[in-house]
């Protein structure tokens, strides 16, 4: 493990052995690739394609609005185009693009060789790809969603949107969000557990801090929308009236759940882009960032505060003024962490000697546009002003300033900055500058003027307007600007494409950067670094500019590979001290098969062929379980538990591998989903205009208690087994695991009986519908917990789990704890409280 | 609690804002439920039991956060290296959480709760 | 397309000559005609001025850092101090003071629009959003409720409480020159208080996306002195006695239209707009075309071309003369 103990070997030989283990297969087997470099690129290229599609849709919108009374698009088609522009840009471009960048860059910046769950990366990519194709296909068939990208009910419900458009949105977006969740989970775990030797939390590059917070926000922020989509799809497909007033539901619940996701989403998009800014500015100012800790604090604050602002999208729904002002204050509060970052950047430039390179030009564009967007954001946070401009083109202008300024400009800056790493060549200065100025001017022409159009009273999402309104000129200017903007973007893309061929050869680390990704060869290898260096400050490449050579020469840790495994360091989340050798899984068919099965589920739900959907779900579950089977001590995951002398043990032989963290973060996401469900329950109960609470709970108390007792007993039993494993003995392990599984199965049966006995009418009342969903949530967890513990029992038999291999039950036990907690909360929320508070509203 | 989780622990980086989040949920949830169950006469203005309760809740939260900020600051002065760094950062985050709660709670002194 | 027939010179030109007095049309929030809108416009100009200052200062500073030439040598301690000053001053003090002032100064601007109890209870007007037209009701009109559609008459110089809801999907009620908007949500009644200080015609348009014809859901708002409003309401109260002419057209109407539309004394349909006073309305189809001679018949024949997707079935099954006759009769309907 220490750097000197590694015996010197021939660098070529080291490279060859690593390449053998890490190589990507070609041909149709390229579908099995799990490598983060390849998948990061695939994410970004796919994102670029969707960006172009979204851009064409934007041009259609601007063409229609260029003149009053245009017939260029029919109202129906316009509404599809406008809905899809928002959907594609937000869900298929912005988030996946930044995920792709993070997936590509983070392991390189923290000195890892891959993300900890590479197969999850691949699974996420295919979910994204298939989901995106499903969503886009609706546009080609001219049955795209047409109720605006936030799909408000009841406009999106089956009564007012009878076609399959809303279903495409709900199922497709949920599918894509699975991919975001996968990326979120593994980025958190990768960042916390696989940093190279000595990279403590306080030495982490700022970009990685931003990504860490973004990943946590994805994990907490996407579940509300996933839940909302499930509920609305259930309403549309089966008739469960969650959002129907007459049955006790409430359309405003959708808005709450949507914006509980939607507002954090803006910051999920902004934070990684701000991370790019915080990376580039110090490099081009030639000095460390001013106020590293201030920036870290600001990022953490943004992460939290952004979950407390969602109601500012709903100031006109009729919420009492005190509550509105509360959210107004919260929305303004977020200006402080943002300003801290802006002034930290300014101070860095002030104290450094900045160079106006092409990437910095884009950063300048970012600053100007984003500050305007931020300032109009503060305006919009003010309730009375919001009442006036809400849902007008003022808001459209504001949001484009924030997302284009706050995301696209830094992204292009980052692309120019990191392009040499990818291609080994430098971007051209001339074409690049033309591209920038056209984009910048076109953008401001389009959207600065649009603020005014909004102030003149033009609502958003109108397909036409009357010439007497006085909006003609401003719309025409916006449209002309829009086309200039597209020419600029096209030029940037051409510039990128050309530079791969015509760019000047770049030296290693051309910008004189300080972070580890520049220690890689250009382009990087599949395994990143031949040997993993220790870091001693925040600026490893400024400390030791020789790192690109010395890492390639194998002068640092884990040089080459000895046992034919894909290996990297597992380290302490706080100090970065190396604790384990993490062996990550290799190329596999499982991820693409699982994603394909889910795509079949999605398509057959769209086509309402429920038998096929059921079968495909079954296939997906089986594939996922098989996938989980080939893990840990399974010979396909790791044939031997040998490690080089002096190296720490393999993570799968310890008590605390990254998988435990993965399960923990996954359960955090699950918890956010459950909390959203509870929020929906209490929201409808207190606010829904025609909510009906039955006089007595339909749920049988004896059955609830019996299920709870069985579950508690099973969970305690499992805890005992785990405690034993921690102490190093495994007496009765298999029997105990099977026993736990049996009790779990018994509890499952009790829940089914409970559900049947309750005789709920989920299509007649929102109350019964929510109770049904809650019980099914419990059922799914009973089933999953039971199956997983049963498989653990089998694995004891195969010798994959034992006192010497205690790791996996420690992962599974977390699910059981979670399930136990959730069950009793369900009992309290759905039986105890209603019984205590009595029936009626 | 301090004995088990010294103020130099990185978890304190988020505890402040987690407490803020809990206050947030209690404030908004409490206000919504109170307005659904027993809305006061709008003529009472800000002088209602709901406002008083929310003000007390906010003051208690701000007090707790400010105390934690002060304790973290003290801990930072006693510690060195990374521990000192983390404690100072935590102190800053506690202060922000406290000021944030105070600022967001301010409207209870002026506005009628349920209109 | 029969687009050329379309003329709407009168649609938005205010009969009283005041509607276009503002800088740009009659939906500009910068041309307030009531206390609420005025306060908000003032807040806007204040914010714009201050934020422009902040923005320009920031950009100038930012550009200044790129100047050439040498930089003073500074000790590490100096650099730390300077950095701290930047962040404390610009990152915390500046936004901190700004948001406190903004909240204290800006929030009261919305006070006018809250339906708080006041001495004399204001007049109540109920507005219901439909896909894609407006139902307007005067529940407290002397002698019984008055119902109309796509036009709203309100007294000038006194606050009016609007109680709004949606009949199908969510719409939003918004008269930009008078004040903020409020959503019209099925199953709830939202309230907003607005006041017009000057008489005139104000534009209004649905502000929450509500489907295919969201763009063509406009409301003709007219503020006039209280007495005129009373007279306007009084004229709509008695059911007009059927006139002998147009008897045939009325029969056609009963056959083809009565299930959906109400005409006082003739039919009680409540699916589409009430047509009892359609002859004197300024526009047809919720602002799609101006009312003039022959306009209704034209609308009846081509309404799916003028307003594609609107809920009224195409009248291909009815011959042109019948539609002409119905149109001619409807044009005579006046209070």
Q: Can you give the pLDDT at residue B44?
A: 85
User: Are B82 and A304 inside 8 Å of each other by CB?
Assistant: no
Q: Can you give the pLDDT at residue A132?
A: 97
Cβ–Cβ under 8 Å, residues A11 and A552: yes
- The residue among A729, A672, A627 whose CA lies nearest residue A117 is A627
How confident is residue C5, by pLDDT bands cut at 50, 70 and 90? very low
Segment A29-40, tens digit of pLDDT? 999 999 999 999
What average pLDDT does the segment C308-331 reach? 92
Residue A323 with chain B: CB contacts under 8 Å: 28, 31-32
Q: Can you give the pLDDT at residue B115?
A: 84
Asked if pLDDT for residue A609 goes beyond 60, the answer is: yes
What is the spatial distance between Cα A68 and Cα A55, in angstroms, rounded to a whole number? 22
User: Are C209 and A461 inside 8 Å of each other by CB?
Assistant: yes
Residue A321 with chain B: CB contacts under 8 Å: 111-112, 115
Q: Can you give the pLDDT at residue C2?
A: 35
How confident is residue A427, by pLDDT bands cut at 50, 70 and 90? confident
Tell the residue number behind the tokens 């205009």, with chain if given: A689
Contacting residues for C119 by C-beta, under 8 A, at least 6 apart = none
SS3 content of chain B, % helix, strand, coil (to 5): 75, 0, 25
Please list the residues that pair with A799 across neighbouring strands.
none
Residues of chain C with pLDDT > 90, as a percent, come to 71
Residue A192 with chain B: CB contacts under 8 Å: none
Residue A807 exposure: Cα atoms within 13 Å on the Cβ side: 21
Lowest mean pLDDT among A822-836, C4-18, C37-51: C4-18
CB distance from A629 to chain B under 8 Å?
Answer: no
Q: Can you give the pLDDT at residue B51?
A: 94
Cβ–Cβ under 8 Å, residues A249 and A241: yes
Q: Name which of A293, A303, A330 is nearest B89 (Cβ-Cβ).
A: A293
Query: Which of C87, C88, C165, C174 should be substituted to probe chain A, the one whose Cβ sees the most A Cβ atoms within 10 Å?
Result: C87
Q: Can you give the pLDDT at residue C30?
A: 93
Between β-strands C283-284 and C289-290, what pairing exists: parallel, antiparallel or unpaired?
antiparallel
Between β-strands C218-224 and C151-155, what pairing exists: parallel, antiparallel or unpaired?
parallel
The H-or-E segment that residue C41 falls in is helix C35-64
Query: Which of C117, C118, C182, C193 should be substituted to probe chain B, the one whose Cβ sees the most B Cβ atoms within 10 Å?
Result: C117
Lowest mean pLDDT among A165-169, A273-277, A424-428, A438-442: A424-428
Asked if pLDDT for residue A3 goes beyond 60, the answer is: no
CB pairs under 8 A between A and C: 266
Q: Can you give the pLDDT at residue A643?
A: 85
CB distance from C100 to chain B under 8 Å?
Answer: yes
Segment C125-179, tens digit of pLDDT? 999 999 999 999 999 988 889 999 999 999 999 999 999 999 999 999 999 999 9
Q: Which domain holds residue B71?
A: 12-109
Asked if pLDDT for residue C22 goes beyond 70, the answer is: no
∠ Cα A340 A343 A349 (to 5°) = 145
Q: Can you give the pLDDT at residue A639?
A: 67
Class of domain C247-332: mainly beta
How much is the pTM? 0.95
The H-or-E segment that residue C193 falls in is strand C190-195
Q: Can you give the pLDDT at residue C143?
A: 84
Residue C115 with chain B: CB contacts under 8 Å: 115
Fold of domain C19-66+76-217? Immunoglobulin-like (2.60.40)
The SS3 assignment for A614 reads: helix
Asked if pLDDT for residue C200 goes beyond 80, the answer is: yes
Tell the residue number behind the tokens 């589409």, with chain if given: C272
Lowest mean pLDDT among A117-126, A534-543, B44-53: B44-53
Structure tokens at A146: 């047409």
Q: Can you give the pLDDT at residue B2?
A: 53
Q: How far is A755 from chain B (nearest CA, A)?
A: 29
The DSSP string of A64-100 is: HHSSTT--SS-HHHHHHHHHHHHHIIIIIIIHHHHHH
- The residue among C26, C31, C28 whose CA lies nearest residue C11 is C26
Q: Can you give the pLDDT at residue C264?
A: 87
The SS3 assignment for A615 reads: helix
Segment A638-672, tens digit of pLDDT? 767 788 888 899 888 888 889 999 999 999 999 99
ipTM: 0.95
The H-or-E segment that residue C92 falls in is none
B88 within some domain: yes
What is the spatial distance between Cα A439 and Cα A432, in angstroms, rounded to a whole number? 11
CB distance from B69 to chain A under 8 Å?
Answer: no
Segment C251-292, tens digit of pLDDT? 999 999 999 999 988 899 999 999 999 999 999 999 998 888
Lowest mean pLDDT among A43-52, A830-839, B105-114: A830-839
What is the spatial distance between Cα A626 and Cα A614, in angstroms, rounded to a whole number? 18
Please list the residues that pair with A557 across neighbouring strands.
A532
A residues 439-498 closer than 8 Å to B (CB): none
Q: What mean pLDDT, rounded, does chain C reach?
A: 88
Q: Can you give the pLDDT at residue B42?
A: 85
Contacting residues for B87 by C-beta, under 8 A, at least 6 apart = B7, B8, B12, B72, B73, B75, B76, B79
Please list the residues that pair with C183 across neighbouring strands.
C172
Q: Let me know how long chain C is.
A: 335
Segment A87-96, tens digit of pLDDT? 999 999 999 9
Contacting residues for C199 by C-beta, under 8 A, at least 6 apart = C16, C18, C156, C223, C224, C225
Query: What are the structural domain ranges in chain A?
Result: 11-501, 595-629, 684-837
Query: What are the structural domain ranges in chain C?
Result: 19-66+76-217, 247-332
Structure tokens at A522: 């250009």
Segment A353-393, tens digit of pLDDT? 999 999 999 999 999 999 999 999 999 999 999 999 999 99
**What is the architecture, at CATH level 2, of domain A11-501?**
Up-down Bundle (1.20)
Asked if pLDDT for residue C6 goes beyond 70, the answer is: no
How confident is residue A433, by pLDDT bands cut at 50, 70 and 90? very high
* Helix A95-109 with A206-238: angle, nearest 10 deg: 140
What average pLDDT does the segment C99-117 reach? 89
Q: Can you give the pLDDT at residue C15?
A: 35
Please list the residues that pair with C152 across neighbouring strands.
C221
Q: Can you give the pLDDT at residue B5?
A: 81
Query: Which of B110, B113, B114 should be substituted to probe chain C, the one whose Cβ sees the most C Cβ atoms within 10 Å?
Result: B110
Contacting residues for C6 by C-beta, under 8 A, at least 6 apart = C289, C306
Asked if pLDDT for residue C7 goes beyond 80, the answer is: no
Tell the residue number behind the tokens 């310890």, with chain if given: A654
Asked if pLDDT for residue C25 goes beyond 70, the answer is: no
Residue A320 with chain B: CB contacts under 8 Å: 31, 35, 113-115
User: Are B33 and A686 inside 8 Å of each other by CB?
Assistant: yes
How confident is residue A271, by pLDDT bands cut at 50, 70 and 90? very high
Total domains, chain B: 1
**CA distance readout (Å), C185 to A155, A273, C190:** 11, 37, 8
Q: Name which of A69, A325, A469 is nearest C107 (Cβ-Cβ).
A: A325
The DSSP string of B14-67 is: HHHHHHHHHHHHHHHHHHHHHHHH-PPPGGGTT-SHHHHHHHHHHHHHHHHHHH
Structure tokens at A458: 């033009």
Q: Can you give the pLDDT at residue A839?
A: 56
Q: Is A69 exposed, middle or buried (0-12, 13-18, 19+ CB in 10 A)?
A: exposed
For A70, the closest chain C residue by CA position comes to C3
Cβ–Cβ under 8 Å, residues B81 and B5: no
The SS3 assignment for C137 reads: strand
User: Are C82 and A351 inside 8 Å of each other by CB?
Assistant: yes
**CA distance readout (Å), A341 to A48, A247, C86:** 28, 48, 11
For A322, the closest chain C residue by CA position comes to C107
Q: Let me know how long chain A is.
A: 841
How confident is residue A201, by pLDDT bands cut at 50, 70 and 90? very high
How confident is residue A55, by pLDDT bands cut at 50, 70 and 90? very high
Q: Can you give the pLDDT at residue A612?
A: 97
Structure tokens at C160: 């009016």
Contacting residues for B30 by C-beta, under 8 A, at least 6 apart = B53, B54, B57
Please list the residues that pair with C134 across neighbouring strands.
C129
What is the spatial distance between Cα A378 and Cα A399, in angstroms, rounded to a whole number? 12
Q: How far is C11 from chain B (nearest CA, A)?
A: 37
How confident is residue A176, by pLDDT bands cut at 50, 70 and 90? very high
Cβ–Cβ under 8 Å, residues B94 and B67: no
Domain A684-837: homologous superfamily in CATH:
Cytochrome c oxidase, subunit III, four-helix bundle (1.20.120.80)
Residue C186 with chain A: CB contacts under 8 Å: 154, 245, 251
Residue A165 exposure: Cα atoms within 13 Å on the Cβ side: 29
Cβ–Cβ under 8 Å, residues C107 and A383: yes
Q: How far is A332 from chain B (nearest CA, A)?
A: 9
Are C19-66+76-217 and C247-332 the same fold in CATH? yes
Asked if pLDDT for residue A707 goes beyond 90, the answer is: yes
Residues of chain B predicted below pLDDT 70? 1-4
Asked if pLDDT for residue A194 goes beyond 50, the answer is: yes
What average pLDDT does the segment A150-158 reach? 95
């Amino acid at each position: 493990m220490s750097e000197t103990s590694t015996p010197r070997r021939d660098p070529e030989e080291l490279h060859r052995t690593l390449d053998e283990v890490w190589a990507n297969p070609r041909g149709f087997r390229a579908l099995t690739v799990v490598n983060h470099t390849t998948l990061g690129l695939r994410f970004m290229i796919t994102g670029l394609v969707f960006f172009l599609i979204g851009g064409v849709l934007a041009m259609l919108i601007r063409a229609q609005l260029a003149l009053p009374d245009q017939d260029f698009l029919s109202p129906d088609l316009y509404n599809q185009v406008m809905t899809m522009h928002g959907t594609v840009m937000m869900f298929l471009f912005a988030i996946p693009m930044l995920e792709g960048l993070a997936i590509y860059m983070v392991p390189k910046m923290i000195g890892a060789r891959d993300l900890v769950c590479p197969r999850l990366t691949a699974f996420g990519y295919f979910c994204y790809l298939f989901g995106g194709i499903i969503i886009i296909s609706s546009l080609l068939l001219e049955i795209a969603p047409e109720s605006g990208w936030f799909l408000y009910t009841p406009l999106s419900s089956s009564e007012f949107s009878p076609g399959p458009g809303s279903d495409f949105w709900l199922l497709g977006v949920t599918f894509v969000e699975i991919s975001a969740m996968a990326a979120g989970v593994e980025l958190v775990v990768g960042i916390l557990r696989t940093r190279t030797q000595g990279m403590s939390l306080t030495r982490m590059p700022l970009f990685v801090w931003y990504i860490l917070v973004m990943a946590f926000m994805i994990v907490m922020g996407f579940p509300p929308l996933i839940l909302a989509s499930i509920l609305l799809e259930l309403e549309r497909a089966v008739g469960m009236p969650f959002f129907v007033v007459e049955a006790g539901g409430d359309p405003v619940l959708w808005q709450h759940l949507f914006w509980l996701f939607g507002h954090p989403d803006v910051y999920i998009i902004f934070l990684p882009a701000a991370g790019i800014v915080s990376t580039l500015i110090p490099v081009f100012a030639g000095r460390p960032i001013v106020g590293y800790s201030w920036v870290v604090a600001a990022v953490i604050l943004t992460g939290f505060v952004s979950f407390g602002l969602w109601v500012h999208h709903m100031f006109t729904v009729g919420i009492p003024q005190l509550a509105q002002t509360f959210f107004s204050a919260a929305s303004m509060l977020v200006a402080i962490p943002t300003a801290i970052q802006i002034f930290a950047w300014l101070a860095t430039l002030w104290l450094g000697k900045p160079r106006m390179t092409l990437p910095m030009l884009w950063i300048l564009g970012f600053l100007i546009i984003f500050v305007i967007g931020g300032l109009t954001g503060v305006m919009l946070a003010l309730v009375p002003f919001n009442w006036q401009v809400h849902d007008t083109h003022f808001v459209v202008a504001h949001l484009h300033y924030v997302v284009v300024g706050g995301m696209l400009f830094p992204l292009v800056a980052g692309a120019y900055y990191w392009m040499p790493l990818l291609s080994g060549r430098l971007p051209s200065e001339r074409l690049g500058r033309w591209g920038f100025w056209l984009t910048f001017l076109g953008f401001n022409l389009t959207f600065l003027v649009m603020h005014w159009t909004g102030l003149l009273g033009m609502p958003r999402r109108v397909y036409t307007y009357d010439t007497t309104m006085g909006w003609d000129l401003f719309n025409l200017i916006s449209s002309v600007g829009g086309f200039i903007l597209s020419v600029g973007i096209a030029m940037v893309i051409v510039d990128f494409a050309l530079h791969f061929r015509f760019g000047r050869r770049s030296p290693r680390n051309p910008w004189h950067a300080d972070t580890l990704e520049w220690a890689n060869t250009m382009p990087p290898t599949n395994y990143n670094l031949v040997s993993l260096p220790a870091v001693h400050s925040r600026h490893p490449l400024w400390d030791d500019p020789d790192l690109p050579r010395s890492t390639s020469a194998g002068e640092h840790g884990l040089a080459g590979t000895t046992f034919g495994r894909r290996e990297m360091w597992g380290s302490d989340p706080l100090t970065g001290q190396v604790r384990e050798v993490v062996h990550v899984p290799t190329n596999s068919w499982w991820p693409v098969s699982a994603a394909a099965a889910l795509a079949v589920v999605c398509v057959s739900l769209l086509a309402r062929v429920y038998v096929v959907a059921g079968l495909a779900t079954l296939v997906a579950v089986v594939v996922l379980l098989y996938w989980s089977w080939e893990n840990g001590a399974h010979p396909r995951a790791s044939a031997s538990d040998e490690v080089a002398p002096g190296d720490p043990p393999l993570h799968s032989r310890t008590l605390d591998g990254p998988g435990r963290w993965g399960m923990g973060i996954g359960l955090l996401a699950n918890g956010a989903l459950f909390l959203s469900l509870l929020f929906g329950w209490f929201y409808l109960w207190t606010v829904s205009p025609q909510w009906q609470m039955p006089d007595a709970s339909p749920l049988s108390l004896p059955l609830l208690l019996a299920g709870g007792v069985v579950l508690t007993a099973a969970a305690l039993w499992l805890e005992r087994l785990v405690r034993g494993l921690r102490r190093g003995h495994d007496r009765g392990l298999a029997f105990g695991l099977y026993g736990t599984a049996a009790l779990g199965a018994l509890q499952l049966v009790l829940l089914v009986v409970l559900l049947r006995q309750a005789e709920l009418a989920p299509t007649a009342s929102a109350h019964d519908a929510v109770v049904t969903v809650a019980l099914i949530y419990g059922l799914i967890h009973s089933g999953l917990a039971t199956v997983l513990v049963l498989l653990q029992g089998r694995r004891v038999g195969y010798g994959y789990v034992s006192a010497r291999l205690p790791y996996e039950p420690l992962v599974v036990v977390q699910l059981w704890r979670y399930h136990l907690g959730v069950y009793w909360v369900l009992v309290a929320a759905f039986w105890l409280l209603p019984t205590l508070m009595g029936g009626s509203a | 609690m301090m004995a088990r989780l010294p103020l130099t622990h990185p978890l304190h980086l988020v505890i402040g804002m987690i407490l803020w989040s809990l206050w947030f949920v209690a404030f908004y949830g409490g206000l919504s439920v109170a307005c659904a169950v027993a809305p006061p006469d709008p003529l009472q203005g800000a002088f209602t039991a709901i406002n008083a309760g929310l003000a007390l809740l906010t003051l208690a939260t701000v007090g707790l956060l400010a105390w934690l900020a002060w304790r973290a600051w003290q801990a930072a002065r006693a510690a060195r290296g990374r521990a000192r760094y983390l404690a100072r950062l935590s102190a800053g985050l506690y202060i922000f959480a406290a000021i944030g709660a105070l600022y967001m709670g301010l409207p209870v002194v002026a506005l009628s709760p349920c209109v | 397309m029969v687009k050329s027939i379309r003329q709407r010179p009168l649609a938005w030109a205010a009969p009283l000559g005041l509607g276009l007095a503002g800088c740009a049309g009659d939906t500009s929030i910068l041309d307030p005609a009531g206390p609420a809108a005025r306060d908000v416009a003032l807040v806007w100009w204040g914010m714009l001025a201050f934020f422009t200052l902040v923005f320009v200062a920031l950009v100038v500073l930012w550009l200044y850092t790129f100047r050439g030439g040498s930089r003073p040598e500074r000790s590490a301690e100096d650099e730390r101090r300077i950095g701290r000053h930047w962040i404390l001053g610009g990152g915390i003090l500046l936004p901190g003071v700004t948001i406190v002032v903004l909240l204290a100064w800006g929030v009261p601007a919305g006070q006018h629009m809250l339906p708080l109890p006041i001495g004399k209870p204001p007049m109540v007007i109920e507005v219901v959003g439909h896909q894609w037209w407006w139902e307007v009701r005067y529940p407290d009109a002397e002698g019984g409720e008055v119902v109309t559609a796509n036009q709203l008459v309100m007294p000038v110089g006194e606050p009016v409480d609007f109680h709004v809801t949606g009949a199908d999907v969510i719409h939003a009620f918004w008269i930009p020159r008078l004040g903020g908007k409020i959503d019209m949500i099925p199953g709830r009644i939202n309230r907003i208080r607005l006041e017009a200080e000057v008489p005139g015609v104000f534009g209004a348009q649905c502000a929450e996306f509500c489907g295919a014809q969201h763009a063509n859901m406009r409301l003709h708002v007219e503020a006039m002195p209280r007495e005129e409003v009373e007279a306007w309401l009084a004229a709509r109260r008695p059911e007009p006695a059927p006139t002998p002419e147009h008897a045939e057209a009325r029969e056609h109407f009963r056959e083809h239209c009565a299930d959906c539309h109400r005409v006082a004394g003739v039919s009680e349909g409540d699916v589409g707009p009430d047509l009892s006073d359609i002859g004197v309305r300024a526009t047809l189809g919720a602002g799609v075309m101006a009312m003039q001679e022959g306009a209704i018949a034209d609308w009846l024949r081509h309404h799916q071309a003028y307003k594609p997707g609107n809920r009224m079935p195409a009248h291909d099954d009815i011959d042109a003369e019948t539609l002409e006759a119905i149109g001619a009769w409807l044009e005579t309907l006046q209070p």
